[in-house]
Structure 1
C-alpha cells in the first residue's frame, strides 16, 4: 500500500549546507533528518545550488529527488562573472563557447524537456541570451 502524499515542494539549497529554517518550516517534516540526508547526498557538489523536489507524506515521512544545478549558475561559473546583464538586450557580459554550451547541455539533459542534445543546447543558449551572454555558433 502506498503512502498518501500531503504535498510536493520545490526548494533549493547550497550543496552540503541545508539547515532547518523558513524554507522547510511549512513542510511539516523532521527538518534535521532532511538536512542530514540532503547534506550527505550533496557533499560532493559543494558550492553548487541544488534544486530539490521534496515529497511529504501523511505520516510526516518524506522523500526527495536532487536535480542538476540551474543553467544560469553554470553559465555564470563558466564565464567567471557574478551576475548576468541587467539589460540583456543591449549589454553583453561575456561570450560562451560552443564547447562550453555543449558541456552544460549534456550535464542538464536529465532535467530538461528535450529529446536530443541539439534541443538541450538551444534551451541553454536561450538562458544565456536572456542573461546577456553571447553564444558562439548558435542562433538562439
Structure 2
C-alpha cells in the first residue's frame, strides 16, 4: 500500500474545548473530510485548556483521513491573560499595563516549545518584544 499523501494543510486558531464547526467548514469544507470528527477530536485534546485559544495544524490526506497537531496559544493571548487586559490601542504612545519579570518568564515557559530557541532567557526576550509591540511595559 502506498504511503498517504498530504493534500491540504492549514493552521487554525480555535477556542479550546469548543471549536466552531462553521470555522472548520470555511477552511476545510472543500477537502471532503469529516468536520464533526475533527471538532470532536480537537475538543477532546484541548478539554483541559478550555477557554484558551489553541492553534491546531490540520493535515488532510488523500484518503480523507486527517492528523491534528496542537500548538501553544499565541503569545499575544498569553500576554493579555497575564496582564488581565487588552493591549494598547496606540502602542508606543499609550501603555496598556506592566508585566513583571515573573509573569514574563511564565509566558515564555509556556510558549517555549513553539519558539525557535531552546534557551529560556532568549524566549523571555522574544516575549518581551511582543509585549512592547502591544504597548505593554516590561518591568525589570
Shorter chain as denominator, the TM-score bin is: over 0.9
Aligned: 1:114 with 2:117: yes
| Equivalent residue pairs, number | 136
Secondary structure at 2:68 match in 1 = strand
**4+ long deviations beyond 4 Å:** none
Residue equivalent to 2:61: 57
The question of whether the paired residues in 2 share the 8 Å contact of 1:19 and 1:32 is answered with: no
Secondary structure at 1:90 match in 2 = coil
Q: Scaled by the length of structure 1, what TM-score is found?
A: 0.92
Structure 1 residue 53: Cα displacement: 0.6
The 2-side partners of 1:114 and 1:43 are apart by 28
Aligned: 1:70 with 2:71: no
> Which runs of 5 or more structure 1 residues have no equivalent in the other structure?
none
> Which runs of 5 or more structure 2 residues have no equivalent in the other structure?
none
Secondary structure at 1:103 match in 2 = helix
Secondary structure at 2:89 match in 1 = coil
Residue equivalent to 1:42: 46
Residue equivalent to 2:130: 127
State the Cα RMSD in Å.
1.2
The 1-side partners of 2:49 and 2:33 are apart by 24
Q: Which one has the bigger helix percentage?
A: 2
The 2-side partners of 1:25 and 1:65 are apart by 19
